[in-house]
Amino acid sequence: MLNKKWTIVDAGFVRGVTAPDELPPPALAEVAFAGRSNVGKSSLLNALLGRTNLVRTGRAPGTTRQLNVFTAKAADGLELLLVDLPGYGYAAVPKAMKREWQDFLWDYVTTRSTLIGLVVVVDARHGLKSLDEDLLSGFLPSGRPVLILATKSDKLNVAERRAAAAGIRRRIDLRFGEQATAVAVQAFSASSRAGVEAADAELDGWLPRA
Protein backbone atom coordinates (compact mmCIF):
# COMPACT_ATOMS: atom_id res chain seq x y z
CA MET A 1 0.00 0.00 0.00
CA LEU A 2 1.08 3.58 -0.60
CA ASN A 3 1.35 4.72 3.01
CA LYS A 4 3.15 2.34 5.35
CA LYS A 5 1.29 3.67 8.39
CA TRP A 6 -2.01 2.58 6.86
CA THR A 7 -0.78 -0.86 5.81
CA ILE A 8 -3.16 -3.36 7.40
CA VAL A 9 -1.31 -6.07 9.30
CA ASP A 10 -4.38 -7.67 10.87
CA ALA A 11 -8.13 -7.53 10.27
CA GLY A 12 -11.14 -9.44 11.53
CA PHE A 13 -14.89 -9.50 11.95
CA VAL A 14 -16.13 -8.04 15.24
CA ARG A 15 -19.91 -8.33 15.19
CA GLY A 16 -23.13 -7.70 13.33
CA VAL A 17 -25.24 -4.89 14.76
CA THR A 18 -29.01 -4.64 14.44
CA ALA A 19 -29.79 -2.13 17.20
CA PRO A 20 -28.06 0.88 18.83
CA ASP A 21 -27.30 -0.97 22.07
CA GLU A 22 -25.31 -3.58 20.12
CA LEU A 23 -22.77 -1.05 18.84
CA PRO A 24 -19.23 -1.39 20.21
CA PRO A 25 -18.34 1.03 23.01
CA PRO A 26 -17.33 4.40 21.52
CA ALA A 27 -13.58 4.01 21.97
CA LEU A 28 -11.82 3.32 18.66
CA ALA A 29 -12.03 5.57 15.63
CA GLU A 30 -14.56 4.35 13.05
CA VAL A 31 -14.84 4.74 9.29
CA ALA A 32 -18.22 3.88 7.76
CA PHE A 33 -18.75 2.51 4.24
CA ALA A 34 -22.09 3.20 2.55
CA GLY A 35 -23.60 2.74 -0.89
CA ARG A 36 -26.51 1.48 -2.90
CA SER A 37 -27.19 -2.24 -2.91
CA ASN A 38 -25.07 -4.29 -5.31
CA VAL A 39 -22.58 -1.48 -5.90
CA GLY A 40 -19.51 -3.56 -5.00
CA LYS A 41 -18.97 -2.44 -1.41
CA SER A 42 -17.91 -5.86 -0.10
CA SER A 43 -15.30 -6.36 -2.82
CA LEU A 44 -14.00 -2.86 -2.20
CA LEU A 45 -13.60 -3.47 1.54
CA ASN A 46 -11.79 -6.73 0.93
CA ALA A 47 -9.41 -4.93 -1.43
CA LEU A 48 -8.66 -2.21 1.12
CA LEU A 49 -8.12 -4.77 3.87
CA GLY A 50 -5.92 -6.92 1.66
CA ARG A 51 -8.22 -9.90 2.18
CA THR A 52 -10.09 -12.20 -0.19
CA ASN A 53 -13.42 -12.92 1.50
CA LEU A 54 -13.39 -11.39 4.98
CA VAL A 55 -16.31 -9.20 3.93
CA ARG A 56 -18.98 -11.37 2.40
CA THR A 57 -21.63 -10.36 -0.09
CA GLY A 58 -25.26 -10.82 0.93
CA ARG A 59 -27.27 -13.37 -0.99
CA ALA A 60 -30.17 -11.06 -1.73
CA PRO A 61 -29.52 -7.32 -2.15
CA GLY A 62 -31.50 -5.17 0.25
CA THR A 63 -32.46 -7.96 2.66
CA THR A 64 -29.59 -7.60 5.14
CA ARG A 65 -30.46 -5.22 7.96
CA GLN A 66 -27.17 -5.27 9.84
CA LEU A 67 -24.12 -3.11 10.35
CA ASN A 68 -21.07 -5.34 10.00
CA VAL A 69 -18.17 -4.14 12.14
CA PHE A 70 -14.58 -5.08 11.32
CA THR A 71 -11.39 -4.32 13.19
CA ALA A 72 -8.26 -3.28 11.34
CA LYS A 73 -4.78 -2.83 12.80
CA ALA A 74 -2.29 -0.63 10.95
CA ALA A 75 1.44 -1.21 10.72
CA ASP A 76 2.15 1.52 13.29
CA GLY A 77 -0.11 -0.21 15.84
CA LEU A 78 -3.15 2.01 15.42
CA GLU A 79 -6.40 0.07 15.58
CA LEU A 80 -9.69 1.27 14.13
CA LEU A 81 -13.10 -0.05 13.18
CA LEU A 82 -14.51 -0.26 9.66
CA VAL A 83 -18.30 -0.31 9.61
CA ASP A 84 -20.03 -1.78 6.56
CA LEU A 85 -23.50 -0.26 6.32
CA PRO A 86 -26.29 -2.20 4.56
CA GLY A 87 -26.85 -1.27 0.94
CA TYR A 88 -29.71 1.13 0.36
CA GLY A 89 -32.07 1.45 -2.57
CA TYR A 90 -34.08 -1.76 -2.29
CA ALA A 91 -37.55 -2.03 -0.73
CA ALA A 92 -37.23 -5.66 0.35
CA VAL A 93 -38.79 -5.28 3.81
CA PRO A 94 -42.14 -4.00 5.18
CA LYS A 95 -42.40 -0.21 5.26
CA ALA A 96 -42.59 0.06 9.06
CA MET A 97 -39.51 -2.12 9.51
CA LYS A 98 -37.69 -0.26 6.77
CA ARG A 99 -38.39 3.09 8.43
CA GLU A 100 -37.17 1.86 11.82
CA TRP A 101 -33.97 0.55 10.27
CA GLN A 102 -33.38 3.72 8.24
CA ASP A 103 -33.79 5.81 11.39
CA PHE A 104 -31.13 3.72 13.12
CA LEU A 105 -28.72 4.12 10.21
CA TRP A 106 -29.38 7.85 10.02
CA ASP A 107 -28.72 8.29 13.74
CA TYR A 108 -25.51 6.30 13.46
CA VAL A 109 -24.15 8.31 10.53
CA THR A 110 -25.12 11.72 11.93
CA THR A 111 -24.48 11.31 15.68
CA ARG A 112 -21.89 8.56 16.28
CA SER A 113 -19.12 10.33 18.22
CA THR A 114 -16.30 8.01 17.12
CA LEU A 115 -17.16 8.12 13.40
CA ILE A 116 -14.27 10.07 11.83
CA GLY A 117 -15.22 9.80 8.16
CA LEU A 118 -17.54 8.31 5.58
CA VAL A 119 -16.72 6.38 2.40
CA VAL A 120 -19.55 6.44 -0.15
CA VAL A 121 -19.31 3.76 -2.83
CA VAL A 122 -20.94 4.46 -6.18
CA ASP A 123 -20.90 2.62 -9.50
CA ALA A 124 -18.63 4.56 -11.86
CA ARG A 125 -20.96 3.72 -14.75
CA HIS A 126 -23.99 5.31 -13.08
CA GLY A 127 -22.54 8.03 -10.87
CA LEU A 128 -24.07 9.70 -7.84
CA LYS A 129 -27.76 9.06 -7.16
CA SER A 130 -30.33 10.95 -5.12
CA LEU A 131 -30.05 8.50 -2.21
CA ASP A 132 -26.31 9.11 -2.09
CA GLU A 133 -26.95 12.85 -1.98
CA ASP A 134 -29.52 12.38 0.81
CA LEU A 135 -26.89 10.59 2.90
CA LEU A 136 -24.30 13.29 2.22
CA SER A 137 -26.75 16.06 3.13
CA GLY A 138 -27.02 14.60 6.62
CA PHE A 139 -23.30 13.94 7.07
CA LEU A 140 -21.47 16.90 5.53
CA PRO A 141 -22.69 19.54 8.04
CA SER A 142 -20.57 17.76 10.66
CA GLY A 143 -17.42 18.85 8.85
CA ARG A 144 -16.03 15.32 8.78
CA PRO A 145 -14.36 14.10 5.55
CA VAL A 146 -15.99 12.02 2.83
CA LEU A 147 -14.34 9.84 0.20
CA ILE A 148 -16.45 8.89 -2.81
CA LEU A 149 -15.07 5.79 -4.51
CA ALA A 150 -16.38 5.23 -8.05
CA THR A 151 -16.05 1.47 -8.15
CA LYS A 152 -16.14 -0.96 -11.09
CA SER A 153 -14.06 1.56 -13.01
CA ASP A 154 -12.29 -1.33 -14.77
CA LYS A 155 -15.42 -1.64 -16.90
CA LEU A 156 -14.68 1.80 -18.40
CA ASN A 157 -11.83 2.96 -20.59
CA VAL A 158 -9.41 5.64 -19.41
CA ALA A 159 -11.36 8.55 -20.89
CA GLU A 160 -14.65 7.24 -19.49
CA ARG A 161 -13.14 6.81 -16.02
CA ARG A 162 -11.92 10.39 -16.01
CA ALA A 163 -15.29 11.63 -17.25
CA ALA A 164 -17.12 9.61 -14.58
CA ALA A 165 -15.01 11.01 -11.74
CA ALA A 166 -15.30 14.54 -13.12
CA GLY A 167 -19.08 14.19 -13.40
CA ILE A 168 -19.36 13.14 -9.76
CA ARG A 169 -17.10 16.04 -8.74
CA ARG A 170 -19.26 18.57 -10.61
CA ARG A 171 -22.47 17.23 -9.10
CA ILE A 172 -21.02 17.37 -5.59
CA ASP A 173 -19.77 20.92 -6.07
CA LEU A 174 -23.09 22.13 -7.47
CA ARG A 175 -25.21 20.40 -4.83
CA PHE A 176 -23.19 21.14 -1.69
CA GLY A 177 -21.25 24.34 -2.35
CA GLU A 178 -18.67 25.10 0.36
CA GLN A 179 -19.33 21.78 2.09
CA ALA A 180 -18.03 20.01 -1.02
CA THR A 181 -14.46 20.84 0.02
CA ALA A 182 -14.68 17.98 2.53
CA VAL A 183 -15.35 15.47 -0.29
CA ALA A 184 -12.68 13.64 -2.29
CA VAL A 185 -13.55 11.61 -5.41
CA GLN A 186 -11.51 8.67 -6.66
CA ALA A 187 -12.01 6.04 -9.39
CA PHE A 188 -11.63 2.54 -7.99
CA SER A 189 -11.59 -1.10 -9.05
CA ALA A 190 -11.42 -4.00 -6.62
CA SER A 191 -10.56 -6.48 -9.37
CA SER A 192 -7.67 -4.53 -10.91
CA ARG A 193 -6.81 -2.74 -7.64
CA ALA A 194 -6.76 0.58 -9.47
CA GLY A 195 -7.27 3.37 -6.94
CA VAL A 196 -6.46 1.23 -3.89
CA GLU A 197 -3.25 3.09 -3.04
CA ALA A 198 -4.88 6.49 -3.54
CA ALA A 199 -7.77 5.47 -1.26
CA ASP A 200 -5.26 4.20 1.32
CA ALA A 201 -3.50 7.56 1.33
CA GLU A 202 -6.77 9.47 1.71
CA LEU A 203 -7.95 7.31 4.61
CA ASP A 204 -4.56 7.53 6.32
CA GLY A 205 -5.01 11.30 6.53
CA TRP A 206 -8.19 10.80 8.56
CA LEU A 207 -6.62 8.68 11.28
CA PRO A 208 -6.09 10.23 14.72
CA ARG A 209 -2.43 10.03 15.64
CA ALA A 210 -0.52 11.77 18.40
Characterise 125 by phi-psi region: left (phi > 0), alpha (psi -120 to 50), beta (else).
Answer: alpha
d(CA 163, CA 197): 20
Q: Where are the alpha helices (DSSP H) in 59-155?
A: 95-111, 130-139
> What confidence tens digit (pLDDT) does each residue in 113-164 have?
999 999 999 999 999 999 899 999 999 999 999 999 999 999 999 999 999 9
- What DSSP state is assigned to residue 53? S
Question: Does a structural domain hold residue 195?
Answer: yes
- Residue 55's pLDDT is 73
- Residue 182's pLDDT is 96
Per-residue buried b or exposed e for 136-171, using 16+ beta carbons within 10 Å of the residue's own CB: beebbebeebbbbbbbbbbebeeeebeebbeebbeb
In CATH, what number is assigned to the domain containing residue 52?
Answer: 3.40.50.300
Question: Does a structural domain hold residue 144?
Answer: yes
Q: Number of structural domains, the chain?
A: 1
Is the whole model's pTM more than 0.85, yes or no?
yes
Question: Does a structural domain hold residue 209?
Answer: no
| pLDDT for 52 beyond 50 | yes
- Residue 56's pLDDT is 67
> What confidence tens digit (pLDDT) does each residue in 10-36 have?
888 999 998 889 999 999 999 999 998
Question: Does a structural domain hold residue 83?
Answer: yes
Q: Residue 19 belongs to what domain range? A: 4-204
Question: Does a structural domain hold residue 210?
Answer: no
48 vs 169, residue with greater confidence: 169
Question: Does a structural domain hold residue 51?
Answer: yes
